[in-house]
């Protein structure tokens, strides 16, 4: 076991498009979406040990340890060994909860990838992805670490290379309840499935956007401002919205004009997750 403290990236993602194709008998929704990573995210510092316990600092107010997705990921991984494996995990949380940037899913995936290496369990990427989907539909794309077209509930992944644009990501001061969003009778949930080559040619949209804007005026306000500057839309089923630019200078020019009360970040799209670089340094 590697006992040194190591630092691991948990990058954010954007859904460059997201369509809801229907509801399955089990209650899940069929989706078509395009995931790309960006160069902002959370950071995990992990020190493995033989304590047989998982500690996570700092604690998240109001969230018991057993409900923390990082803890759940570690416990699921521990089941693959008879040794008293443990770890001390320190989370630097930069991404908002419920923002649609995949923060929790990314944290869980980084935990799986990192501890598999640090505990020397030798599970394959496919095995880690299978564990990950039990934690959340978005976890496998973070485990695999490549931009991808996703179908099913988001777990059927096709790696893809798309333009690594620059983005302005605005974080409105609100939280979206995904369960309430899915139960909204006005939610678009019957977009016809299309082949990937057609989706890449068509104008990109997010089927959650209209419902989120209706329920959250803060999101509508941020999106209205961004749309004056560049193509913009919602990411995931959260509150965050983004604009895309071909050059960093174009993005910075718009950022300089942003309202003072708007929380907004510059980010670059990445087809390869920085988590894979962290892993390569450990191997």
Q: Which two tokens stand for residue 137?
A: 């539909």
**Is 13 one of the catalytic residues?**
yes
> Token match 């560049």: residue?
230
Answer for the pair 169, 11: CB distance below 8 angstroms, yes or no.
no
Please tell me which residue in 42, 78, 107, 138 is annotated as part of the active site: 138
Distance CA 179, CA 113 (A): 28
Prior bond of 58 cis (ω within 30°):
yes
At 259 the three-state DSSP class reads: coil
Residue 216: partners with Cβ closer than 8 Å, 6 or more residues away: 172, 174, 176, 239
> Token match 């913009």: residue?
232
Distance CA 276, CA 9 (A): 9
Distance CA 27, CA 153 (A): 11
Judging by beta carbons within 10 Å of its beta carbon (0-12, 13-18, 19+), is residue 90 exposed, middle or buried? middle
**Is 190 one of the catalytic residues?**
no
Answer for the pair 246, 166: CB distance below 8 angstroms, yes or no.
yes
Prior bond of 209 cis (ω within 30°):
no
Please tell me which residue in 13, 78, 107, 207 is annotated as part of the active site: 13
Q: Which two tokens stand for residue 280?
A: 């390569």
Catalytic residues: 13, 138
């Amino acid at each position: 076991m590697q006992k040194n403290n190591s630092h691991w990236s948990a990058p954010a993602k954007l859904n460059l498009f997201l369509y809801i194709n229907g509801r399955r008998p089990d209650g899940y929704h069929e989706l078509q979406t395009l995931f790309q990573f960006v160069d902002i995210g959370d950071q995990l510092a992990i020190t493995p040990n033989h304590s047989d316990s998982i500690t996570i600092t700092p604690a998240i107010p109001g969230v018991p340890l057993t409900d923390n997705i990082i803890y759940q990921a570690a416990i699921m991984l521990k089941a693959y060994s008879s040794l008293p494996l443990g770890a001390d995990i320190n989370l630097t949380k930069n991404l908002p909860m419920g923002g649609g940037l995949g923060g929790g899913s990314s944290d869980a995936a980084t935990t799986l990838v990192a501890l598999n290496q640090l505990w020397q369990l030798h599970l394959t990427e496919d095995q880690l992805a299978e564990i990950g989907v039990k934690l959340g539909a978005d976890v496998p794309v973070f485990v695999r670490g490549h931009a991808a077209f996703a179908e099913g509930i988001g777990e059927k992944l096709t790696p893809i290379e798309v333009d690594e644009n620059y983005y302005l990501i605005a974080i409105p001061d609100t939280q979206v309840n995904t369960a309430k969003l899915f139960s909204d009778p006005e939610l678009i949930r019957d977009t016809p499935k299309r082949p990937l080559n057609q989706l890449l040619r068509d104008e990109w949209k997010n089927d959650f956007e209209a419902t989120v804007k209706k329920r959250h005026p803060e999101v509508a306000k941020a999106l209205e401002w961004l749309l004056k500057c560049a193509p913009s839309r919602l990411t995931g089923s959260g509150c965050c919205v983004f604009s895309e630019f071909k050059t960093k200078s174009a993005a910075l020019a718009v950022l300089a004009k942003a309202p003072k009360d708007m929380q907004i970040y510059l980010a670059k799209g990445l087809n390869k997750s920085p988590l894979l670089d962290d892993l390569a340094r450990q191997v």
